């Protein structure tokens, strides 16, 4: 009887496996992470999938009675398609709530990605109208593996993704050093980490994770990794967009402040971005 029940549950679970031929491996990794977050799970382990290398994402979520639910997703990338299977790690009891929820969250992201981007651009005015817009997004926990392939948070580094769209009819100077964060407690200004210091911290954390006997990570390679993704100074003419990362110490922050300089008048224009629930 027990064997029959397990077989039936396995069959039900398989119907919620994701198989897509229209997604890249990078998109599969990113949508899997976003789906876990949308379901209220805190990602505790993330191994990126690549062609021929199975990936895995695991997360936890508190239940109504104080219990902890653990969900796990396996990601496989094969030539021409990606495959994902999600299941809650549980003893005997086969509850498909997480499996079904992940399937619905992932397929919604995959099916409506283009529409969502278009809607967000229309809501914000895009890059041709509505003035200048700053989008400042701290990358939480293991999210940095998507863009860097490394756990920056584990090294005490908060990677903050910045997107600036100049939808005005004026030109502005962008200086990434003007971007500051304000912590949840107090009103002090937190300045960015210098790239060499951030790379050294990342190298120390990577060495500790690798364990004794493993070859030491190359700080120069890690600094180059951070530098090639960093937001750079530039002049933003009407219709221009800039995107990149700035790096801060990990912590809980409530807002970010940035400044642009009007090219014609040399006057500064400040921007304030509030974070939800303290990033």
Is the pLDDT at 278 greater than 60? The verdict is no
DSSP 217: P
What is the spatial distance between Cα 276 and Cα 253, in angstroms, rounded to a whole number? 9
Question: Of 82, 114, 146, at which residue does a domain stop?
Answer: 114
Q: Are 13 and 96 in contact (CB under 8 A)?
A: yes
Is the pLDDT at 27 greater than 50? The verdict is yes
Roughly how many angstroms between the first and final C-alpha of the chain, as a whole number? 49
CB neighbours of residue 245 within 10 Å: 22
Domain that holds residue 44: 2-114
Question: Looking at residues 163-169, what average pLDDT do you find?
Answer: 93
Q: Do 135 and 266 belong to one domain? A: yes
Per-residue pLDDT band for 186 (boundaries 50, 70, 90) equals confident
What is the pLDDT of the chain when averaged over all its residues? 86
Question: Looking at residues 75-82, what average pLDDT do you find?
Answer: 94
Residues 6+ apart with CB under 8 A from 187: none
CB neighbours of residue 237 within 10 Å: 13
Question: Of 79, 114, 149, at which residue does a domain stop?
Answer: 114
Angle at Cα 279 formed by Cα 137 and Cα 165, nearest 5°?
Answer: 20
The shares of helix, strand and coil residues in the chain, as percent rounded to the nearest 5, are 35, 35, 30
What is the spatial distance between Cα 232 and Cα 221, in angstroms, rounded to a whole number? 19
Per-residue pLDDT band for 143 (boundaries 50, 70, 90) equals very high
Q: Give the count of domains, the chain.
A: 2
What is the spatial distance between Cα 123 and Cα 197, in angstroms, rounded to a whole number? 39
Is the pLDDT at 209 greater than 80? The verdict is no
Q: Is 119 part of a structural domain of the chain?
A: no
Is the pLDDT at 100 greater than 50? The verdict is yes
Q: Residue 5's pLDDT is what?
A: 45
| CATH, residue 41 | 3.30.310.80
Q: Do 255 and 129 belong to one domain? A: yes
Q: Residue 111's pLDDT is what?
A: 86
The residue written with tokens 């929820």 in the block is 101
Q: Do 94 and 140 belong to one domain? A: no
Question: Looking at residues 19-29, what average pLDDT do you find?
Answer: 93
Q: Which residue has the higher pLDDT, 196 or 118?
A: 196
Q: Do 52 and 10 belong to one domain? A: yes
Q: Is 279 part of a structural domain of the chain?
A: no
Question: Looking at residues 80-101, what average pLDDT do you find?
Answer: 85
Question: Looking at residues 138-142, what average pLDDT do you find?
Answer: 90
What is the spatial distance between Cα 64 and Cα 224, in angstroms, rounded to a whole number? 45
Question: Looking at residues 34-44, what average pLDDT do you find?
Answer: 93
Per-residue pLDDT band for 11 (boundaries 50, 70, 90) equals low
| CATH, residue 230 | 2.60.40
Q: Do 93 and 128 belong to one domain? A: no
Paired sense of beta strands 81-88 and 18-20, if any: antiparallel
What is the spatial distance between Cα 168 and Cα 166, in angstroms, rounded to a whole number? 5
CA dihedral 153, 260, 258, 123 (to 10 degrees): -90
Question: Of 114, 136, 151, at which residue does a domain stop?
Answer: 114
Q: What are 174's two structure tokens?
A: 């962008």
Q: Do 134 and 270 belong to one domain? A: yes
What is the spatial distance between Cα 173 and Cα 233, in angstroms, rounded to a whole number? 8
Q: Do 42 and 141 belong to one domain? A: no
Question: Looking at residues 59-77, what average pLDDT do you find?
Answer: 92
Q: Do 252 and 147 belong to one domain? A: yes
Question: Looking at residues 122-150, what average pLDDT do you find?
Answer: 77
Q: Do 165 and 88 belong to one domain? A: no
């Amino acid at each position: 009887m027990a064997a029959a029940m397990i077989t039936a549950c396995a069959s039900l679970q398989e119907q919620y496996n994701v198989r897509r031929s229209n997604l890249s491996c990078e998109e599969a990794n990113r949508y899997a992470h976003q789906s876990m977050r949308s379901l209220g799970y805190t990602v505790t382990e993330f191994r990126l999938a690549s062609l021929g290398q199975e990936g895995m994402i695991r997360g936890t979520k508190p239940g109504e009675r104080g219990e902890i639910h653990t969900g796990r997703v396996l990601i496989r990338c094969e030539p021409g398609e990606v495959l994902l299977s999600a299941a809650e790690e549980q003893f005997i009891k086969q509850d498909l709530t997480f499996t079904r929820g992940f399937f619905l969250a992932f397929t919604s992201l995959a099916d409506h990605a283009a529409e969502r981007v278009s809607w967000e651009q229309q809501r914000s005015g895009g890059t041709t109208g509505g003035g200048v817009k700053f989008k400042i997004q701290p990358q939480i926990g293991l999210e940095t593996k998507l863009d860097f392939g490394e756990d920056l948070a584990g090294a005490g580094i908060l990677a903050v993704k910045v997107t600036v769209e100049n939808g005005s009819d004026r030109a502005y100077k962008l200086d990434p050093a003007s971007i500051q964060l304000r912590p949840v407690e107090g009103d002090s200004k937190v300045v960015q980490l210098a790239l060499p210091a951030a790379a050294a911290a990342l190298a120390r954390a990577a060495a500790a994770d690798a364990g004794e006997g493993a070859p030491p990570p190359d700080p120069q390679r890690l600094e180059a990794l951070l530098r090639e993704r960093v937001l750079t100074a530039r002049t933003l003419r009407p219709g221009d967009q800039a995107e990149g990362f700035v790096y801060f110490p990990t912590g809980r922050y409530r807002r970010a402040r940035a400044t642009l300089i009007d090219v014609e008048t040399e006057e500064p224009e400040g921007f304030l971005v509030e974070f939800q629930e303290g990033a």
